[in-house]
Structure 1
Amino acid sequence: MKYDYLIVGAGLFGAVFAQEAKKKGRKCLIVERRSHIAGNIYCEEIHGIQVHRYGAHIFHTSDRRIWDYVCRFAEFNNYINSPIARYKKELYNLPFNMNTFSKMWGIATPDEAKAIIESQIADLGITQPGNLEEQALSLVGRDVYEKLIKGYTEKQWGRDCRDLPAFIIRRLPLRFTYDNNYFNDRFQGIPIGGYTKLVEKLLEGTEVRLNVDYLEHRQELDALAGKIIYTGMIDQFYDYALGVLQYRSVRFETEELETENYQGNAVVNYTEREVPYTRIIEHKHFEFGKQPTTIISREYSSEWQKGDEPYYPVNDERNNALYEQYRAKAESEKKVIFGGRLGGYKYYDMDKVIAAALELCDTELGDTE
């Protein structure tokens, strides 16, 4: 065998494992079915703008170990995620905070905002939420729900909020301060020059073969390595033998516009149901760009079908139970280790992907630095 590990997928999980394996003297081969590295955090440079090909990615963490780790491979800017929500002609700050409530109700103090929300919740009289709509109403009241949650959520999931289970929204953070920072994490930013450069650094010294579909060449590829790190879809690995896990997918319409500044913010969510896309990303604002033109991407949520790109696992009871059956099969594998978002059928923030990869490295390779 030529390699210690065959890593399927050149995303963040596989790249971190490859970096740590190389430091431990292990030889890895990465195969990637796409024509590029970096998975869904891939950035494509167009006219000096780093375009987040698969949607906006903002790195954020409160874990000092993870922050120090990524800073070895990239310099981060000081971007703070402060999205805007647009409902018809009205613009609101996200997450829900005093700027949001002041615009919505013409009030100025936290006590005024709390009183309005508590009054609306009390008037509804919902004690046992039976669906997502009732759950959201019982947490934030009618105004916030109707303008900022209902339409956006229905577009995201492709169904009426009354037809979605309550557990999807366990909580809705309400901030009674004038703070538009979406994340509470201590460390936040975007790699200067984009995420692709970060992954390139992680993969230095590791052989990568692009445009290679592992499942189509499984037998010959398996013969090359002692172990396999598989970061693809776990149900597809088993040819959907137990059933198909559900995902939501996203479609992007990207265009360059002959204007320096289209919307004044990197992320604008469109929260009314009648607007078909969920949000517009203006990529240059992630790096405070001053280019004479701009590039925007409209995002459309859709039901995943085989052949589509899977984005968000539908972690309801049925799918979680099916995943547990696949996980049981995976645990019996002697040579294959499953990891990452698709291998674990779980949505991960980037810092959690890195943490999971490092945890695997500790188990497989010995303690990492």
Structure 2
Amino acid sequence: MKQYDYLIVGSGLFGAVFAHEAQKAGKRCLVVEKRTHTGGNIYCEEIAGIHVHKYGAHIFHTDNKEVWQYVNQLVEFNRYTNSPIANYEGKLYNLPFNMNTFYQLWGVRTPDEAKAKIKEQCKEYEYITNPQNLEEQALKLCGKDIYQRLIKGYTEKQWGRAATELPAFIIKRIPFRFVFDNNYFNDPYQGIPIGGYNCLINALLKGIDVRIGVDYIEHRQELDALAEKVLYTGCIDEYFNYVCGPLEYRSLRFEHKHLKDIEDFQGNAVVNYTAREIPYTRIIEHKHFEFGKQPSTIITYEYPDDFEKGKEPYYPVNDEDNTKIFKKYQALAQKEKNVLFGGRLAQYTYADMDDTVAAALKLWKDSRIISAQ
């Protein structure tokens, strides 16, 4: 008999939820993590009494009541509501696009006035019957003002290429809200764990053996020998040594600053900078996630970055070529005995936290059914 029932590669939200469920069922688990801390990208670093979202802003939101109840049985969440601001050439606009935004853009005061203005703006682009790129798609959906001030520059920075070079399907629709409501998400459940996300990860991994600073790919043979089964949450192309070619990602770079003499830098947790010439996409002020009253503040500049080996892969480039490559890796993964693949990197997808929790719970449930057969 091996020492562990499960070796879980990666201590992010997916791996932590799976490990938690396995342990509850009496399974012996070992979690290995390449970084020097647990939690993956939701890890928080405490500085001057502020929980800093080290790898970018993470706001838990969901319409799945079961998932919300699941995480709340582990930790208590606050009532944080995501209401980002957009800064374009020094002018501020509310997000998502709502009556506040339309008033800031055009001075309109009623939903009918706003709808008429959007219709007027879109009329100019009626000739675009089959949008060939993101720019044409966006102009057809919202007109030039919203596109040029609030979409174009931000999107081009995010993807590292011109909007005319991006596929139209990236923007399938543009949600307009004809109410004065700055709540970014439609989901009924939303908040941040009181005390930061480390509290959630620590609760999930309580009592489970964890080894940090361990690269699974480098020590695969000896680690595999410790457990009956493996859950792998890393990059699927790396697992298979890139035999089908590398998958493309976009990365991010973060510049954290502790402003010791400033109590409140921008009055909001997230401010997006939508002009193309400003190199960062947003500034995050972390204390606002937990309504902090500390005498100083910490801000983070978030820069989009090209991905290369050694950088963190954040966003998959789900275009046609990469999708073909991923399907080849999926086929290889299905042939692996005693290895499960889960999480955003192994599934080559962008996933919100609630979807990650739900997917981990489903994989655990499915694996139990298969084991029982």
Q: 1:336 aligns with which of 327, 339, 352?
A: 339
Q: Which amino acid aligns with 2:173?
A: R
Q: Is the 8 A contact 1:248 1:301 kept in 2?
A: yes
Q: Which amino acid aligns with 1:263?
A: Q
Give the distance between the partners of 1:81 and 1:336, measured in 2 at CA.
37
Q: Which amino acid aligns with 2:34?
A: R
Aligned residue number for residue 317 of structure 1: 320
Q: Which runs of 5+ in 1 are unaligned?
A: none
Aligned residue number for residue 246 of structure 1: 248
Q: Secondary structure at the match of 1:31?
A: strand
Give the distance between the partners of 1:331 and 1:112, measured in 2 at CA.
54
Give the distance between the partners of 1:33 and 1:84, measured in 2 at CA.
35
Aligned residue number for residue 177 of structure 2: 175
Q: Which amino acid aligns with 1:44?
A: E
Q: TM-score, normalised by structure 2?
A: 0.97
Aligned residue number for residue 33 of structure 2: 32
Q: Which amino acid aligns with 1:109?
A: T
Aligned residue number for residue 277 of structure 2: 274
Give the distance between the partners of 2:316 and 2:175, measured in 1 at CA.
22
Q: Secondary structure at the match of 1:251?
A: strand
Q: Is the 8 A contact 1:59 1:189 kept in 2?
A: yes
Aligned residue number for residue 105 of structure 1: 106
1:358 aligns with 2:326: no
Aligned residue number for residue 88 of structure 2: 87
Q: Which amino acid aligns with 1:57?
A: H
Give the distance between the partners of 2:366 and 2:156, measured in 1 at CA.
41
4+ long deviations beyond 4 Å: none
Give the distance between the partners of 1:308 and 1:12, measured in 2 at CA.
20
1:165 aligns with 2:163: no
1:1-369 mapped onto 2 (5 Å cutoff): 1-125=2-126, 126-257=128-259, 258-365=261-368
Q: Secondary structure at the match of 1:91?
A: strand
Q: Which amino acid aligns with 1:168?
A: I
Deviation at 1:89, TM superposition (A): 1.5
Give the distance between the partners of 1:71 and 1:100, measured in 2 at CA.
33
Deviation at 1:365, TM superposition (A): 2.9
Q: Is the 8 A contact 1:21 1:365 kept in 2?
A: no
How high is the sequence identity, in percent, across the aligned residues? 63
Q: Secondary structure at the match of 1:221?
A: helix
Aligned residues: 367
Q: TM-score, normalised by structure 1?
A: 0.98
Give the distance between the partners of 1:303 and 1:132, measured in 2 at CA.
20
Give the distance between the partners of 2:188 and 2:17, measured in 1 at CA.
22
Give the distance between the partners of 1:89 and 1:219, measured in 2 at CA.
55
Alpha-carbon displacement from aligned partner over 1:22-48 (angstroms, at most 9, x marks no partner): 111100000000000000000111111
Q: Which amino acid aligns with 1:247?
A: Y
Q: Which amino acid aligns with 2:284?
A: I
Give the distance between the partners of 2:254 and 2:316, measured in 1 at CA.
18
Q: Is the 8 A contact 1:131 1:163 kept in 2?
A: yes
Give the distance between the partners of 1:180 and 1:37, measured in 2 at CA.
33
Q: Which runs of 5+ in 2 are unaligned?
A: none
Deviation at 1:303, TM superposition (A): 1.4
Give the distance between the partners of 1:20 and 1:156, measured in 2 at CA.
36
Deviation at 1:172, TM superposition (A): 1.2
Q: Which amino acid aligns with 2:277?
A: E
Give the distance between the partners of 2:170 and 2:307, measured in 1 at CA.
18
Deviation at 1:366, TM superposition (A): 5.3
Q: Which amino acid aligns with 2:364?
A: C
Give the distance between the partners of 2:307 and 2:175, measured in 1 at CA.
29
Alpha-carbon displacement from aligned partner over 1:282-333 (angstroms, at most 9, x marks no partner): 0000001010100000000011111110000011111111100000000000
Q: Secondary structure at the match of 2:217?
A: helix
